[in-house]
Amino acid sequence: MAEKIRHQLFLPKPVSDRLETLAAKPGASKSAILTDAVTAWLNRRGASELEDRFGIRLDRLTAAIGRLERDGHIQLETIALFVRYELAIHAPLAENDHAGRAIAAKRFEAFIAQVGRQIAAGRRTIGSTEPSQ
């Protein structure tokens, strides 16, 4: 059995009356009710301390994730508008234009290779201070 310490405390009359009513029920005691109430209050206070300790940091992380999400949407919209523009201004190649299709395929492969090199090297084209290759 855990060691118990006697406490003397004063309660306002309405709170004391409610405690008396609860303690009058079978299987309930004032000590058990007050122990549960104080434990719950201390647990909530502990949760509040965690919120105080980590809340600011979590708020910063949430803001940073929000900025990343916004930037991703901006990038996707930029690419989508560019592709739409390019498709609108360039006429499609004729079915029998094999030379044009070969050139387009080589350009596309070069583009994909450049993207791969940039990502592998960790370089950025937009926002970087040095020119890309």
Both 109 and 67 in one domain: the answer is no
State how many domains the chain has. 2
State pLDDT tens for residues 26-77.
Answer: 988 999 999 999 998 888 876 777 777 888 899 999 999 999 999 999 998 9
What CA–CA distance (Å, rounded) separates 120 from 112? Answer: 12
> Is residue 77 domain-shared with residue 36, that is, in the same domain?
yes
Q: Are residues 40 and 104 part of one domain?
A: no
pLDDT at 13: 95
For residue 7, tell me if it sits in a domain.
no
How confident is the model at residue 56, as a pLDDT?
87
CA quadruple 19, 25, 29, 34: dihedral sign: negative
Domain that includes residue 34, residue range: 13-90
| Residue carrying structure tokens 């919120």 | 51
Q: What is the pLDDT of residues 76-133, one digit of tens each?
A: 898 989 988 888 888 888 889 999 889 989 998 998 999 889 889 888 777 655 554 5
In a domain, residue 32? The reply is: yes
